[in-house]
Amino acid sequence: MIELLTSPEAWAALVTLTALEIVLGIDNVIFLSVIVSRIPPKQAKRARQVGLALAVIFRIALLTVLVWLIGLTTPVLTVQDFAFSWRDIILIGGGLFLIAKATHEIHGEVEAREHEAGATPKPRAFLLVIVQIIIIDLVFSLDSIITAIGMAKDLEIMIAAVIIACFVMYLSSGPVSRFVSEHPTTKMLALAFLVLIGVALVADGFHFHIPRAYIYFAMAFSAAVEMFNVLAGRNRKKASR
């Protein structure tokens, strides 16, 4: 441990891996922001805390079983000369779940049913949100930890990077969730991002890698345009007063 604290290479690996884990966590933050927007604010805060706590637990638990995790990339199913590993199957399943969930939410937003707007939250809504968070945490944790294994050699560095990244995710999840709930158009944009991320996960499961840089650039560009729209809307409201 002392050698790691005094090693420039270890610190460089920690900084690099932490930055990468934070970038990979963007997907998780967006999903959390969208999924908790349909429950009351107090429950939403608790759901975010539980969801990110589970993200830390899943990532650390997966890091402690490196041999098993690496084995997930071994083919277990072959369909017409196309080999699938457990990792591929999990990514495809998680991607389809994201696409289905985002499509369902988009349908609800487009329909804008009046009875949903005035309906009281169901007691089981919180539990349902937590279950969905657990499912998607497993998918994102798997991809995140496999990346960590490929970049760092020391388990201590991996765990430290994961904890720091999840702490940053926790700090950013609150403001992002509030912004999404206060601006309905950004929620639609976030749901579109989830569909895009789901497609990328399914493509990864079929060994067709879509560079994340393209996806994140598209997300950043769209978010910037939406930010200008929000600012323009605020200025118009101020001018009309």
Tens of pLDDT, residue by residue over 83-137, are 888 888 888 888 888 888 888 878 877 775 444 444 555 556 778 888 887 777 7
pLDDT at 147: 64
Mean residue pLDDT of the chain comes to: 76
Rounded CA-CA distance 174/169 in Å is: 9
Q: What is the mean predicted confidence (pLDDT) over 167-189? A: 77
Q: Rounded to whole angstroms, how far apart are CA atoms 151 and 20? A: 10
H/E stretch holding 76 reads strand 75-79
pLDDT for res 117: 47
Q: What pLDDT score was predicted for residue 1?
A: 56
pLDDT of residue 115: 45
Q: 125-151 vs 155-182: helix axis angle to the nearest 10? A: 140
Q: What is the pTM of this model?
A: 0.66
Considering the chain, what percentage of its residues have pLDDT values greater than 90? 0
